[in-house]
């Protein structure tokens, strides 16, 4: 699996200039308004870019002026540089605002660096286009970079209210990947239990560490509709029925995070 090792950000929202090395697991700690959410927002932005949804995303976010650092009067251009696989592959993109408050690409470029050679091989994609031209490209490096960026998933483990999707039933077949709001957590865990029991047991062990009363998950399709499944679990020493609503907010959020960290495709 490819890993993102380094990222450079220029003029994205509250982030004027940031160069940072990344590990497999990174924790952001800072005061309110320090830019943690905007840093995470970079990955959502780039994911939308690679899905050829830049124009819609920009409009829904309030326009280019709302995304540029202090607006276009301060920032004429916004740019990103991503380096992954220890510098073997990379992606660069720059954006300039249009008169109608959207963005166009002022530069898009990918590269591959065989360490036998002093310089990387560059594939210049172009400039002036409104959506990324990497997706669908027949160029080898561009195709690889596009596939990698498209695999990103952004999860927001926030909603634990009674109406939260994670507490409702979900389709048993919705198990290809964990959804951004964990709406398919039950079906995803059910898949792990059946196909990847070692990963599943690791998740249960981790839950027991933070919730000593937890015994095990009780996952099965609904007897009334086998296409549906709900997150259910057992408490140690009890035969009572428990579902996601019986878990504390903190335990439920931990379960979401644990799923993402413990199991990787």
- Could you identify the residue written with the tokens 């428990």? 242
Cβ–Cβ < 8 Å for 90, 84? yes
Answer left, alpha or beta for residue 68, where phi above 0 means left and psi between -120 and 50 means alpha.
beta
CATH of domain 4-150: 3.40.50
Structure confidence by residue, pLDDT tens digits, 26-49: 889 988 888 999 999 999 999 999
Helix (H) or strand (E) holding 47: helix 36-50
**Percentage of the chain surpassing pLDDT 70?**
98
Model pLDDT, residue 45: 96
C-alpha 251/C-alpha 239 separation (Å) is 20
Instruction: Tell me what the pLDDT averaged over the chain comes to.
Output: 91
Structure confidence by residue, pLDDT tens digits, 49-84: 999 999 999 999 999 999 999 999 999 999 999 999
The answer for residues whose C-beta is within 8 angstroms of residue 214's C-beta and 6 or more apart is 204, 207, 208, 233, 235, 236, 251
**Percentage of the chain surpassing pLDDT 90?**
68
Model pLDDT, residue 260: 76
**103-107, 152-156, 181-185: range with highest mean pLDDT:** 103-107
pLDDT above 50: residue 265 = no
Model pLDDT, residue 231: 95
Structure confidence by residue, pLDDT tens digits, 83-115: 998 888 999 999 999 999 999 999 999 999 988
> What residue spans define the domains of the chain?
4-150, 165-262
């Amino acid at each position: 699996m490819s890993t993102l090792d380094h990222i450079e950000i220029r003029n994205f929202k509250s982030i004027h200039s940031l160069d940072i090395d990344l590990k497999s697991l990174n924790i952001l700690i800072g005061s309110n308004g320090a830019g943690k959410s905007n840093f995470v927002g970079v990955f959502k932005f780039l994911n939308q870019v690679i899905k050829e949804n830049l124009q819609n995303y920009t409009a829904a976010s309030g326009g280019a002026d709302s995304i540029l650092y202090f607006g276009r009067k301060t920032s004429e251009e916004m740019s990103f540089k991503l380096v992954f696989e220890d510098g073997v592959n990379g992606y660069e993109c720059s954006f300039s605002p249009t008169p109608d408050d959207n963005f166009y690409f002022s530069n898009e470029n990918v590269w591959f660096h065989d360490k036998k050679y002093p310089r990387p091989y560059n594939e210049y994609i172009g400039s002036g286009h409104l959506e990324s031209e990497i997706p669908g490209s027949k160029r080898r490096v561009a195709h690889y970079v596009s596939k990698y960026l498209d695999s990103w998933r952004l999860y927001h483990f926030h909603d634990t209210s009674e109406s939260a999707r994670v507490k409702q039933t979900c389709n048993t077949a919705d198990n290809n990947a964990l959804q951004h709001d964990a709406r398919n957590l039950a079906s995803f865990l059910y898949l792990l239990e059946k196909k990847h029991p070692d990963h599943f047991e690791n998740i249960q062990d981790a839950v027991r560490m933070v919730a000593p009363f937890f015994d095990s998950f009780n996952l099965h399709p609904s007897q009334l509709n086998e296409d549906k499944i709900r997150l259910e679990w057992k408490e140690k020493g009890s035969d009572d029925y428990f579902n996601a609503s019986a878990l504390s907010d903190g335990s439920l959020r931990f379960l979401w995070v644990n799923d993402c960290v413990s199991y990787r495709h």
